[in-house]
Chains A and B, each alone.
Chain A
């Protein structure tokens, strides 16, 4: 189990998103209210790319059907029926973002 360097925090503007791969695994990084989060890139509802969505504070909103989650704990809000999966993430002293990606996180319906 290893932490892997993803990017520098400064590469993601406040409210912005960055798509990337850690090895073969696609990850979406988001920066909201100063904190960076790492999640699977597709909406757990209809697999809409969440990079098309929007952040309102720490609330992530999918553009397709407006499902919402609190990025801090992944909890669903509004119409969302299931929570958001998150990859463990840590920030080093130099602003480097490291993610723990052992296996690809998949929602129940994808298994």
Chain B
């Protein structure tokens, strides 16, 4: 199918395979489409059909446009073309650098699943070709016979054919249920990526302030991995605040401490913080949510300190308020990709 889309008066054209989501087809052809979660929840990739036949793949998508107000509105990530079509959409921000690697599809299979807590595991995949991405980006998973895609951040900071991912089990989450209940080594998946703009830019970035909730820790590992390999950590300080509810929810703390970053654990619902402090003598342990702990122990920021956020959207919103209004870090120095 041929798709023409107008983004702020500039027309772009690309081809889409039968059944392929329009967002993914456009992005892999380099069309600068606005997106954020790419999985139907945020509404950022909203567009309006002008001509042609479009199929909606998820009628109840949380991010779907207000159909009462705009009857032809759709989400590009949840739509495919059934004929040649024309659309009006939104362009990606022009003020943020675009990652260099265009996303594409990858066939993969499970290499290993390692349990980290009762509801978190480390999933390692084997890909048929190297996966190039920038530290901090994410990828979408698709599994045969399960509808839709699910976003996960890579733990590594450099190109690899064996990327790993921290998977937290979500109640009713089709892909996380599959990983925890049915998936075994060798099981196939399809990936689409890399996606996301919250990336490390070592040529201009300075100190790093990484705020991570639960499985958002993947992003912190990815940024720290790249920063260690390219020498960034030898020149700049890195602080990580890793938040979970209770001590039983903690994982990979020793690996995090070994990165060389100054690590603080934020426990929002732990009765015996003193015991946790004794268990992890190499890191700081505090009570509270990530944004509360960030307010209490924000390092002295410099003019090029970069804050990275990853975790549940409510955590990101709370941290944004603290960083912008409380810590007065300019919004242009705060990076995050919201997906859930």
The contact of B331 among A46, A52, A78, A109, by CB within 8 Å, is A78
Q: Which residues of B contact A (CB under 8 A)?
A: 8, 34, 43-44, 46, 90, 93-96, 317, 320-321, 324-325, 328, 330-332, 334
Contact residues of A between 54 and 88, Cβ < 8 Å to B:
54, 56, 61, 63, 65-66, 68, 78-79, 81
| B34 near A46: Cβ-Cβ < 8 Å | yes
Which of B96, B330, B331: most chain A Cβ within 10 A? B331
Return chain A residues, CB-CB under 8 Å to B334: 66
Inter-chain pairs besides A66-B331, A78-B330, A109-B8, 13 sampled, C-beta below 8 Å: A52-B317, A54-B321, A54-B324, A56-B324, A56-B328, A65-B93, A66-B334, A68-B331, A78-B331, A78-B332, A79-B93, A79-B95, A81-B93
| B324 near A66: Cβ-Cβ < 8 Å | yes
Shortest beta-carbon distance from B195 to chain A in Å:
16
| A63 near B320: Cβ-Cβ < 8 Å | yes
Return chain B residues, CB-CB under 8 Å to A81: 93-95
Total interface residues in chain A, CB < 8 Å = 13
- Whether A79 touches B325, Cβ cut-off 8 Å, given contacts A46-B44, A109-B8, is no
How many inter-chain contacts with C-beta < 8 Å in the A-B complex?
39
Docked CA distance A109–B47 (Å): 12
Return chain B residues, CB-CB under 8 Å to A56: 324-325, 328
A-B pairs, top 3 by smallest CB distance, nearest first, are A66-B331, A79-B95, A78-B332
Return chain A residues, CB-CB under 8 Å to B331: 61, 66, 68, 78-79
Docked CA distance A63–B8 (Å): 23
| B332 near A63: Cβ-Cβ < 8 Å | no
Return chain B residues, CB-CB under 8 Å to A109: 8, 90
| B317 near A63: Cβ-Cβ < 8 Å | yes
Return chain A residues, CB-CB under 8 Å to B96: 79
Closest to B321 in A: A54
Docked CA distance A81–B34 (Å): 14
Contact residues of A between 30 and 48, Cβ < 8 Å to B:
46
Closest to A65 in B: B93
- Whether A79 touches B332, Cβ cut-off 8 Å, given contacts A54-B325, A56-B325, is yes
| A66 near B43: Cβ-Cβ < 8 Å | no
